[in-house]
Amino acid sequence: MCLGVPAKVLSIRREGMLKIATVLMGGVSKEVILGLADDETIKPGDYVMVHAGIAISRIDEEELEEMLKLFREIGLL
């Protein structure tokens, strides 16, 4: 089973051809690769879904709240 984790983008920098985002996940900051098709529109303050160190999709705050609610219901939070 694969699990994507929601994260808030804190900052973005470019390393060669890669865009690296510092994100906040569960109170811990991590660096992830922005692997999104629309990574040019991602900015600090946005939320992304992270899997295996790669941001795989952007999520809005409504999706985030629904996801966190489900995580609480199944005991992940």
Parent domain of 61: 5-73
pLDDT tens column, 4-35: 889 999 999 999 888 999 999 888 999 999 97
Classify residue 5 as exposed, middle or buried by CB count within 10 Å of its CB (0-12, 13-18, 19+).
Answer: middle
> What's the mean pLDDT in 32-54?
86
pTM above 0.85, yes or no: no
Closest CA to 25 of 44, 48, 8, 3: 8
What is the model's pLDDT at position 49? 92
Domain count, the chain: 1
How confident is the prediction for the chain on average, in pLDDT? Answer: 87
What is the model's pLDDT at position 37? 58
Find out whether 9 and 42 touch, Cβ atoms under 8 Å: yes
Task: Tell me how far apart the alpha carbons of residues 59 and 46 are, in angstroms, rounded to a whole number.
Answer: 8
- The enclosing domain of 46 has a CATH number of 2.30.30.140
Residue 68 has pLDDT above 70, yes or no: yes
